[in-house]
Every structure is written in structure tokens, then in C-alpha cells.
């Protein structure tokens, strides 16, 4: 049973919500986001907050109500404050460079890897850090995952691209023979 759906979503001043059928549009100081909602979940705007209700008591529908509540809350927070995700590059000679919407990664391959940053995400490089910013949390997370996939951190030396808060479990190498 989802208890997340029972919490209402506070709508801060400066954020405007437009609900038409199953279509939701959230507009704020940083931009606007659109999303199509599931028909078995309904939203209701009540004095400065949004309430999410499941249309029936089925286990799957109640779970989708919790998911919808989280997605709508991420939309409201995104258009008001925005989201940031940091990736750290570790390894001798590993580096990145951002020019416009293209991220060039030198991460141990024979040729540099060019990654096109999608529209709606701003990519910056600061020394050994890649900083992704935007209003869509889902898009930022997916972009960070695709960049990390280019060179995952390896378990022996920890070289590769990892999230800022990720802990790489290290393995012990071969032991010297006697």
C-alpha cells in the first residue's frame, strides 16, 4: 500500500499548475514541464496543494498513485529550484571537455568519445567533475547514467566515471607467489 500518495504536494508561490484531463503542465521561474498522467489516477488542486487519489483500491492502481505523486512533486521542485547531478572522472589522463552541447571524453580509449547532451540539460566540466543541471529530474538521471556507461568504474583501481555519491567496492589484486 503506497503511503506516499497520501501526502499532498505543496505548490510554492510562482509555480502555476494547469490540469486538463490526463494532461498536466507545470510552469515556474525556471521553465515548464508537461506530462501525460495515467487515467486511473486523479489529481485535485486544493488551496495551494495538489492531492493525488487512486480511482479504485486495486494494489496496482494505488502503486501508480504513489508513482504519480513522486513524478508531479519532481516536476514542481524542478521548475522552482532545478536539479543537479555530478559525475566524477577518476584515472590518470582521464579528462572531459564541454563545448556547447557536446561533451568530449578522453577515458582510456584510443579515440575521444563524443557525447551529445540532450536538449533541456546543461553540461559543465570543472576539472575532473561533470556537472549536469536542468529542471527535469528524469532526463538528468538518464543522461548521467548514459555518460557513466561510457566508462564504468572498475573494481581494482577505481578508474572510470562514477556518480559523486557512489562508493566503488574495491577488489584485492593478485597475491604475490611464495
Kindly report the CATH number that applies to the domain delimited by 4-80: 3.90.930.12
Tell me, yes or no, if the two domains 4-80 and 83-163 fold the same way.
yes
* All three cell numbers of 87: 559525475
pTM for the model? 0.89
Q: Which residues contact 28 (CB under 8 A, 6 or more apart)?
A: 14, 15, 16, 76, 78, 79, 80, 135
Report pLDDT for 124. Answer: 95
Report pLDDT for 47. Answer: 87
Kindly report the CATH number that applies to the domain delimited by 83-163: 3.90.930.12
For every one of its 178 residues, what pLDDT tens digit does the chain have, with 9 covering 90 and above? 568 889 999 999 999 999 998 899 999 999 999 999 999 999 999 988 999 999 998 999 999 999 999 999 999 999 999 999 999 999 999 999 999 999 999 999 999 999 999 999 999 999 899 999 999 999 999 999 999 999 999 999 999 999 999 999 999 888 755 5
| Cβ atoms within 10 Å, residue 146 | 12
Asked whether the beta carbons of 141 and 132 are under 8 A apart, the reply is no
CA-to-CA distance for 70 and 141, rounded, in angstroms? 15
* All three cell numbers of 76: 514542481
Q: Which residues contact 170 (CB under 8 A, 6 or more apart)?
A: 155, 156, 158
Q: Measuring CA to CA, which residue among 78, 89, 94 is closest to residue 133?
A: 78
> Among the residues of 40-116, which ranges form H helices?
59-80
* DSSP at 11: -
Phi first, then psi: give them for residue 61, nearest 5 degrees.
-65, -40
Domain-by-domain residue ranges, the chain? 4-80, 83-163
| Cβ atoms within 10 Å, residue 83 | 19
Report pLDDT for 1. Answer: 54
Report pLDDT for 176. Answer: 59
Amino acid at each position: 500500500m503506497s503511503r506516499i500518495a497520501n501526502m499532498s504536494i505543496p505548490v510554492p508561490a510562482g509555480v502555476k499548475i494547469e490540469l486538463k484531463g490526463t494532461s498536466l503542465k507545470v510552469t515556474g521561474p525556471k521553465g515548464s514541464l508537461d506530462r501525460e498522467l495515467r487515467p486511473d489516477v486523479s489529481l485535485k488542486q486544493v488551496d495551494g496543494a495538489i492531492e493525488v487519489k487512486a480511482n479504485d483500491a486495486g494494489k496496482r492502481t494505488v502503486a501508480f498513485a504513489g508513482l504519480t505523486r513522486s513524478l508531479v512533486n519532481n516536476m514542481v521542485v524542478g521548475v522552482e529550484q532545478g536539479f543537479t547531478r555530478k559525475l566524477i572522472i577518476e584515472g590518470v589522463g582521464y579528462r572531459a571537455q564541454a563545448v556547447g552541447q557536446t561533451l568530449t571524453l578522453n577515458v582510456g580509449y584510443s579515440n575521444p568519445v563524443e557525447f551529445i547532451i540532450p536538449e533541456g540539460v546543461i553540461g559543465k566540466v570543472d576539472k575532473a567533475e561533470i556537472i549536469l543541471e536542468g529542471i527535469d529530474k528524469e532526463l538528468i538521471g538518464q543522461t548521467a547514467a548514459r555518460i557513466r556507461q561510457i566508462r564504468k568504474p572498475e573494481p581494482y583501481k577505481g578508474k572510470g566515471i562514477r556518480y559523486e555519491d557512489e562508493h566503488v567496492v574495491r577488489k584485492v589484486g593478485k597475491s604475490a607467489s611464495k
